[in-house]
Amino acid sequence: MSPRPAKSSRPAASSLMADAVPGDAARLTMADLAERAQVSIITVSRALRDSPSVREDTRRRIQDLAREMGYRFNATARNLRLQRSHTIAVVVDMKPTPERPMSGPFPLDLLGGICQELTTAGYNVLLTTGQSQPAAAVQAADGAILLGQGADDTAVRQLLPMGVPLVVWGAPQPGVDPVFVGSDNHQGGALAAARLIETGRRRLVFLGDTRHRENAERLHGFTETLASAGAVLVALAPCDFTFNAGVAAVRGLLTDTPGGFDGIFACSDAIALGAMRALTEAKLTVPDDVSVIGYDDTPMAAFHTPALTSVHQDWTEGGVRLAQAVLALINGEHPDSLILPTRLVVRAT
Amino acid sequence: MSPRPAKSSRPAASSLMADAVPGDAARLTMADLAERAQVSIITVSRALRDSPSVREDTRRRIQDLAREMGYRFNATARNLRLQRSHTIAVVVDMKPTPERPMSGPFPLDLLGGICQELTTAGYNVLLTTGQSQPAAAVQAADGAILLGQGADDTAVRQLLPMGVPLVVWGAPQPGVDPVFVGSDNHQGGALAAARLIETGRRRLVFLGDTRHRENAERLHGFTETLASAGAVLVALAPCDFTFNAGVAAVRGLLTDTPGGFDGIFACSDAIALGAMRALTEAKLTVPDDVSVIGYDDTPMAAFHTPALTSVHQDWTEGGVRLAQAVLALINGEHPDSLILPTRLVVRAT
DNA sequence: GCATTGAATGACATCGATAACAATAGTAAC
DNA sequence: GTTACTATTGTTATCGATGTCATTCAATGC
């Protein structure tokens, strides 16, 4: 019972002071506290967890001791013992374009919603980019959320067999199984179509890569509504989500589309802005000659002149729902896939 | 030696099939593999790690077995044994404004850079919002990165004593110790001032909350440059980072500033856009009557009409540097605080 | 033929915390 | 005074993987 137990091994490598300094490199364990407090390890464990089966004063004594000795709890050990990590992996599976690693409004607000919900539920959020193999990270997690506007479903196929509860952001896919949460792309397309028709447009153009399932849904809703109103889709230009892709696509259409067009629905605000640039170049005015509707309702849509009409999705809400879905799965429930409504923000174009 | 070892306990709650299904809920351990392969646990461990001390065919046999039995590695156990988590906590400490949980261009690209660097270095990224107490998450990490435009340094003071290598994004603070990585706010302010002066402006306004150290730096650089050119700061309006704050601030200034002003430097693009709105309301034109410079070079700056001149910071690079700094710390090195250059993107205003 | 060497494998302890059960104390009831 | 009972604390095994130090076996050298 020496007053200074001297944790035999493990020298405090980077510490200048003797020891027991809060923030000391040599990490204390419950055993150390137990020895100092002259109690057993389990009592320390209980005391630190506020177990009612530890006498009030003992508990306080141990907690104080822990504080003053700078004890730091080892979550890894608990996780091992308790067989859960309280961690959800968020896999951001972006195309390997280095030009924009994770941009757009996309994952940020979504992440915000996810974090908000998961941290209040006591879970940690482990962030992974699809670049590396997510394997290791995901395996350690209690659940996983997949974000990414992937045109293919390789990521899903990779993640699914790992046996971790999985929720995917996007449009439900026919072949694969997991729970999906997404916004109503079909409705988004329909809203855009309805608006264009309402403003008297009849010869419409769709800009977007329909290999992305979400875009395919938008196209579907778009054409469906068109058909029922006697308008026609005069062109479908596959294009990336970028400004430049929008410029290029519309430049092409201006020469290639016999009969021209008077309305554009773009799968992102960036595309829409690019499209408007190309229209302006060609001495066409928006919205007098051509009406344009974008997607995502980003700040740049609002501040562009003329202000861009755009389909709005509530990313934060989406994030929250994603989180809730994983938690439900972990809980053994079987949440249904979920489709969140979109709404059209009408502006000048 | 029954052909079906039947991991006694732990019923496979959510599994419909019998067992050994890849993705089965009952998680296999190395012990299970060992039993099936008629080798010891440690041999399995070595085989799965491609240890050269396991015979080629044994190794392959075990690896195949692991694959077909759907074995999932338990990182928690390894981390406990190896005394490291290979995890970096990223604490996003935003003001508790629920209106924008994590927006702005701010953490997204930064996060992108961080992820990119850390995942390639084999580390995981644990995301935490400052809302909850970051304690638990951070303690389990090998290192931590603090992001947040906090006006105060409570977060730093909270994190620092936890004994985890810490790197902070922002402006180095006099009182506190940790390693900082940030962009050169002083230079940003100076650039803005130089540009305004260059375009003939003499009576200037600063919009931003200088309790934020980064803004204080900008102001410092701004006024310093002003002074040396004979221009004057006629008003300093503390204001939030938002559009509305910008509108309100400038409305106030328009009535309260004797002699008026001909140049505005705003601490965010949103503020700048708000300022322009207020100017337009007052029948002033930009840049003829008043020149405006924003900060962050967001998409909305570029697409606004007139296009907003703005100070650009390379977030992704910042993220990479943050990551490198933590890794260095973990490695026992003592990296210096780092200040990244900014540049002015000159547009119409 | 026997010692020596090396390759391959195994037994055991260990990381730090916790559940299940055991044990001790002190108190109340009769 | 003895039994039953509660409050409090302790003992032991355990989570799953891995480092350390044996151990086994075959090949090699003399």
Q: What is the pLDDT of residue B24?
A: 46
Taking the CA of residue B182 and the nearest CA in chain A, the distance in Å comes to: 20
> Is there a contact between B161 and A70 if contact means CB atoms under 8 Å apart?
yes
- How far, CA to CA in Å, does B303 sit from each of A272, A299, A302, B349? 12, 9, 9, 12
Taking the CA of residue B68 and the nearest CA in chain A, the distance in Å comes to: 12
- How far, CA to CA in Å, does B105 sit from each of A107, A182, A203, A229, A269? 12, 23, 37, 40, 16
Tokens matching residue A253: 């259409």
Q: What is the pLDDT of residue B38?
A: 92
| Sign of the CA dihedral running A294, A296, A297, A301 | negative
Q: What is the pLDDT of residue B174?
A: 66
Q: What is the pLDDT of residue A212?
A: 84
Does B190 have pLDDT greater than 70?
yes
> Is there a contact between A115 and B108 if contact means CB atoms under 8 Å apart?
no
Q: What is the pLDDT of residue B178?
A: 81
Question: Residue B103 — very low, low, confident or very high, per pLDDT cuts 50/70/90?
Answer: very low
What single DSSP character describes residue B308? P
Q: What is the pLDDT of residue B248?
A: 94
Protein CA B325 to sugar C1' D9 (Å):
46
**Tally of CB atoms within 10 A around B68:** 10
Q: Residue B76: which of A76, A115, A298 has the nearest Cβ?
A: A76
Lowest mean pLDDT among A76-85, A126-135, B134-143, B239-248: A126-135
> Is there a contact between A316 and B273 if contact means CB atoms under 8 Å apart?
no
Domain ranges for chain A, please list them: 17-81, 87-183+315-340, 185-312
Residue numbers in A near B247 (CB within 8 A): none
Protein residue minimizing CA–C1' distance to D6: A53
Q: What is the mean pLDDT of residues B1-11?
A: 35
B163: left (phi over 0), alpha (psi -120 to 50) or beta: left
Protein CA A52 to sugar C1' C24 (Å):
19
Q: Please tell me which residue, B220 or B302, carries the higher pLDDT value.
A: B220
Protein CA B31 to sugar C1' C3 (Å):
37
Q: What is the pLDDT of residue A94?
A: 64
What single DSSP character describes residue B327? H
Angle made by CA atoms B62, B66, B67, in degrees to the nearest 5: 120
- Mutation to test the B interface, candidates A115, A179, A303, A329, most B Cβ within 10 Å: A303
Average pLDDT, chain B: 83
Task: Check if CATH label 3.40.50.2300 holds for domain B185-312.
Answer: yes
Residue numbers in A near B109 (CB within 8 A): 101-103
Identical fold for domains A17-81 and A87-183+315-340, yes or no, is no
Which nucleotide's C1' sits nearest to the alpha carbon of A78? C17
Which nucleotide's C1' sits nearest to the alpha carbon of B53? C8
Please name the residue of chain A whose CA is at the shortest distance from the CA of residue B333: A14
Q: What is the pLDDT of residue B133?
A: 59
Q: Residue B108: which of A23, A102, A128 has the nearest Cβ?
A: A102
Please name the residue of chain A whose CA is at the shortest distance from the CA of residue B133: A119
Lowest mean pLDDT among A19-23, A258-262, B83-87, B317-321: A19-23
Q: What is the pLDDT of residue B150?
A: 61
A170: left (phi over 0), alpha (psi -120 to 50) or beta: left
Task: List all nucleotides in chain C with at least one atom under 7 A from a protein Cβ.
Answer: 7-12, 14-20
Protein CA A46 to sugar C1' D5 (Å):
23
Q: What is the pLDDT of residue A320?
A: 94
Residue numbers in A near B90 (CB within 8 A): 127
Protein CA B63 to sugar C1' C4 (Å):
34
Question: Residue B100 — very low, low, confident or very high, per pLDDT cuts 50/70/90?
Answer: very low
**Tally of CB atoms within 10 A around B245:** 23
- How far, CA to CA in Å, does B140 sit from each of A30, A75, B134? 15, 6, 10
Q: What is the pLDDT of residue B43?
A: 94
Q: What count of CB pairs under 8 Å joins A to B?
A: 168
> Is there a contact between A124 and B128 if contact means CB atoms under 8 Å apart?
yes
Please name the residue of chain B whose CA is at the shortest distance from the CA of residue A120: B132
Protein residue minimizing CA–C1' distance to C10: B40
Quick one: A52 exposed, middle or buried, by C-beta within 10 A (0-12, 13-18, 19+)?
exposed
Q: Residue B299: which of A23, A90, A298 has the nearest Cβ?
A: A298
Tokens matching residue A139: 């395996």
Task: Check if CATH label 2.60.40.420 holds for domain A87-183+315-340.
Answer: no
Does B31 have pLDDT greater than 70?
yes
Protein CA B34 to sugar C1' D24 (Å):
19
Q: What is the pLDDT of residue B137?
A: 74
Angle made by CA atoms A176, A177, A182, in degrees to the nearest 5: 90
In one letter, which amino acid is A238?
P
Q: How far apart are CA B261 and CA A231, in angstroms?
A: 53
Q: What is the pLDDT of residue B86?
A: 87
Q: What is the pLDDT of residue A26?
A: 62
Quick one: A154 exposed, middle or buried, by C-beta within 10 A (0-12, 13-18, 19+)?
exposed
Q: Peptide bond before B306: cis, by omega within 30 degrees of 0?
A: yes
> Is there a contact between A85 and B70 if contact means CB atoms under 8 Å apart?
no
Does B25 have pLDDT greater than 90?
no
B251: Cβ contacts below 8 Å, ≥ 6 apart: B278, B281, B282
Residue numbers in B near A298 (CB within 8 A): 299-300
Taking the CA of residue A331 and the nearest CA in chain B, the distance in Å comes to: 10
> Is there a contact between B75 and A302 if contact means CB atoms under 8 Å apart?
no
In one letter, which amino acid is A145?
I
Q: What is the mean pLDDT of residues B107-117?
A: 82
Protein CA A66 to sugar C1' C25 (Å):
27
Please name the residue of chain A whose CA is at the shortest distance from the CA of residue B161: A23
- How far, CA to CA in Å, does A128 sit from each of A132, A139, B122, B207? 8, 12, 11, 37
Q: Peptide bond before B172: cis, by omega within 30 degrees of 0?
A: no
Residue numbers in B near A273 (CB within 8 A): 303
Taking the CA of residue A196 and the nearest CA in chain B, the distance in Å comes to: 23
User: Residues of chain A whose pLDDT is less than 50?
Assistant: 1-24, 96-103
Going by C-alpha positions, the residue among A126, A154, A129, A120 that lies closest to residue A140 is: A126
Q: What is the pLDDT of residue B171?
A: 79
Residue numbers in A near B147 (CB within 8 A): none
- The SS3 assignment for B27 reads coil
Going by C-alpha positions, the residue among A88, A16, A343, A33 that lies closest to residue A190 is: A343
How many residues are there in chain A? 349
Tokens matching residue A269: 């605000």
Q: What is the pLDDT of residue B26?
A: 62
Which nucleotide's C1' sits nearest to the alpha carbon of B74? D16
Taking the CA of residue B316 and the nearest CA in chain A, the distance in Å comes to: 9
Contact yes or no for A194/A265 (Cβ under 8 A): no
Residue numbers in B near A120 (CB within 8 A): 131-132
Taking the CA of residue A108 and the nearest CA in chain B, the distance in Å comes to: 6
Protein CA B183 to sugar C1' D17 (Å):
43
Q: What is the pLDDT of residue B109?
A: 79
Q: How far apart are CA A288 and CA A284, in angstroms?
A: 8
- Per-residue pLDDT of A109-155, as tens digits, reads 788 889 888 888 888 898 887 655 556 678 888 999 988 756 567 77
Q: Residue A300: which of B85, B300, B316 has the nearest Cβ?
A: B300
Residue numbers in A near B102 (CB within 8 A): 108-109, 111-112, 115
Task: Check if CATH label 1.10.260.40 holds for domain A17-81.
Answer: yes
Q: How far apart are CA A235 and CA A258, in angstroms?
A: 10
Residue numbers in A near B117 (CB within 8 A): none
